């Protein structure tokens, strides 16, 4: 009788332990969006949060916490509990570029866990509609003949657009003069107005000008053509076959996230990315949905950091 009682007690204890290990979440999930409302990062954070809540019946709270070039939100994430109830949107700028150029209170590899890659997007190299530069080959040829005679604008020193153009110049052995702006909203009007000759921009920022015929796309920076701009060739098609630069967006958690929680969240987010309405929302922002495993996302981040570090060293990029 005692033996049966102890056996039953052991089973109950093990069941309770197992239940305790699998219970998730125990409180509302907060998704930190490290930008102001309205932009692509905000759209991603709210879409993933709303869909996660809808799928599981959980309470998911999106929180905009902009600042310090989108690094403030990740700094808070790194300090948070690793139970999986605080997540954040990580992107190329706050995961790759900023940590290499600034002293930050987090290490993107050591202090954070890649949960799910949401989307990627190439950048697009554009010129005014009336520019004599008709192709990327034209741009390279002119710049090689007279180094630094062509000016190009980006959204700021050390940003994705700057790194992509420096990477392109290194790959094709030519030199342009960089004109940094405080965001693409300042660079694009100057391009149309003829104050600069080239701009490296996100497709989302340039799309309205492209549709209006005010600018012309010379190339996209991804290895494959963008589904948003299918008629625009890639840099690789111009003879630089290994060239590949994309901006990524994904869901991050603090380091030490339990494997069971990581697997659950990755599976849920990947299911969301296969839903037609979620895909349509991302494509409307010129973002390509990219469901992959946590390991594949982690590998992308590490490769991106290494590639950016080489570009920063080669071009001697420094944030003043």
In a domain, 220, yes or no: yes
- pLDDT (tens digit per residue) in 65-92: 999 889 999 999 999 999 999 999 999 9
Where residue 208 sits, what CATH number does that domain have?
A: 3.40.190.10
In a domain, 8, yes or no: no
Domain that includes residue 169, residue range: 122-238
Q: What is the Cα–Cα distance from 188 to 202, expressed in whole angstroms?
A: 11
Q: How far is C-alpha 230 from the chain's CA centre? A: 21
Confidence class of residue 39 from pLDDT cuts 50, 70 and 90? Answer: confident
What mean pLDDT comes out for the span 117-131? 97
In a domain, 1, yes or no: no
- Report the pLDDT value the prediction gives residue 20, as an integer from 0 to 100: 41
Same domain, 91 and 44: yes
- pLDDT (tens digit per residue) in 196-226: 999 999 999 999 999 999 999 999 999 999 9
Q: What single string gives the DSSP state of each residue in 65-88?
A: ---TTTHHHHHHHHHS-TTSSEEE
Last residue of a domain, one of 218, 238, 258: 238
Torsions phi, psi of 134, nearest 5? Answer: -95, -25
In a domain, 192, yes or no: yes
Where residue 306 sits, what CATH number does that domain have?
A: 3.40.190.150
- pLDDT (tens digit per residue) in 126-146: 999 999 999 999 999 999 999
Angle CA 90–94–99, to nearest 5? 135
- Report the pLDDT value the prediction gives residue 162, as an integer from 0 to 100: 94
pLDDT higher than threshold 60 for residue 9: no
Confidence class of residue 16 from pLDDT cuts 50, 70 and 90? Answer: very low
pLDDT higher than threshold 50 for residue 106: yes
- pLDDT (tens digit per residue) in 244-285: 999 999 999 999 999 999 999 999 999 999 999 999 999 999
Closest CA to 118 of 251, 28, 222, 5: 251
Confidence class of residue 22 from pLDDT cuts 50, 70 and 90? Answer: low
Same domain, 137 and 212: yes
- Report the pLDDT value the prediction gives residue 267, as an integer from 0 to 100: 98
Same domain, 179 and 260: no
Q: Quick one: DSSP state of residue 111?
A: S
Q: What is the Cα–Cα distance from 95 to 266, expressed in whole angstroms?
A: 19
- 272 and 52 Cβ atoms separated by less than 8 Å: yes
Same domain, 116 and 253: yes
Torsions phi, psi of 10, nearest 5? Answer: -65, -45
For 200-233, letters b (16+ CB in 10 Å) and e give: bbbbbbbbebbeeebbbbbbbbbbebbebbeebb
Closest CA to 29 of 65, 60, 64, 63: 60
What mean pLDDT comes out for the span 50-76? 96
Same domain, 129 and 216: yes
Same domain, 110 and 126: no
What mean pLDDT comes out for the span 229-245? 94
In a domain, 243, yes or no: no
Q: What is the Cα–Cα distance from 156 to 178, expressed in whole angstroms?
A: 10
Same domain, 128 and 226: yes
In a domain, 304, yes or no: yes
Mean pLDDT of the chain: 91
Same domain, 126 and 233: yes
**More reliable by pLDDT, 159 or 197:** 197
Cis peptide leading into residue 112 (ω within 30°): no
- Report the pLDDT value the prediction gives residue 6, as an integer from 0 to 100: 38
Same domain, 187 and 253: no
Same domain, 293 and 303: yes
In a domain, 69, yes or no: yes
In a domain, 127, yes or no: yes
Same domain, 181 and 288: no
Beta bridge partners, 88, equal 32, 252
Overall domain count for the chain: 2
Q: What single string gives the DSSP state of each residue in 210-254?
A: HHTTSEEEEEESSSS--SSSTTSPBTGGGT-TT---EEEEEEEEE
- Report the pLDDT value the prediction gives residue 2, as an integer from 0 to 100: 47
Closest CA to 246 of 282, 276, 288, 209: 288
Same domain, 104 and 126: no
pLDDT higher than threshold 70 for residue 15: no
């Amino acid at each position: 009788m005692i033996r049966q009682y102890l056996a039953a007690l052991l089973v109950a204890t093990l069941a309770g332990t197992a239940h305790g290990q699998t219970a998730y979440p125990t409180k509302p999930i907060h998704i930190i969006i490290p930008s102001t409302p309205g932009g692509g990062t905000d759209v991603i954070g709210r879409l993933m949060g709303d869909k996660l809540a809808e799928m599981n019946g959980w309470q998911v709270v999106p929180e905009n916490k902009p600042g310090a070039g989108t690094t403030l939100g990740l700094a808070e994430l790194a300090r948070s509990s690793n139970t999986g109830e605080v997540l954040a949107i990580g992107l190329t700028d706050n995961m790759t570029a900023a940590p290499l150029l600034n002293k930050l209170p987090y290490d993107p590899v050591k202090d954070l866990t890649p949960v799910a890659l949401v989307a990627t997007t190439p950048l697009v190299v554009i010129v005014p509609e009336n520019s004599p530069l008709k192709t990327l080959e034209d741009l390279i040829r002119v710049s090689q003949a007279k180094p630094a005679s062509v000016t190009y604008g980006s959204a700021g020193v050390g940003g994705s657009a700057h790194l992509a153009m420096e990477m392109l110049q290194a790959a094709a052995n030519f030199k342009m003069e960089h004109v940094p702006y405080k965001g693409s909203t300042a660079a694009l009007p100057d391009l149309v107005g003829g104050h600069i000759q080239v701009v490296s921009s996100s497709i989302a920022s340039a799309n309205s000008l492209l549709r209006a015929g005010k600018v012309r796309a010379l190339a996209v920076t991804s290895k494959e053509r963008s589904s948003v701009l299918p008629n625009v060739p890639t840099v690789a098609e111009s003879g630089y076959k290994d060239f590949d630069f994309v901006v990524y967006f994904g869901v991050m958690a603090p380091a030490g996230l339990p494997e069971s929680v990581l697997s659950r969240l990755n599976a849920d987010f990947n299911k969301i990315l296969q839903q037609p309405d979620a895909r349509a929302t991302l494509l409307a922002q010129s973002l390509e949905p990219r469901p992959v495993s946590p390991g594949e996302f982690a590998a992308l981040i590490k490769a991106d950091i290494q590639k950016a570090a080489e570009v920063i060293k080669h071009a001697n990029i420094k944030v003043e």
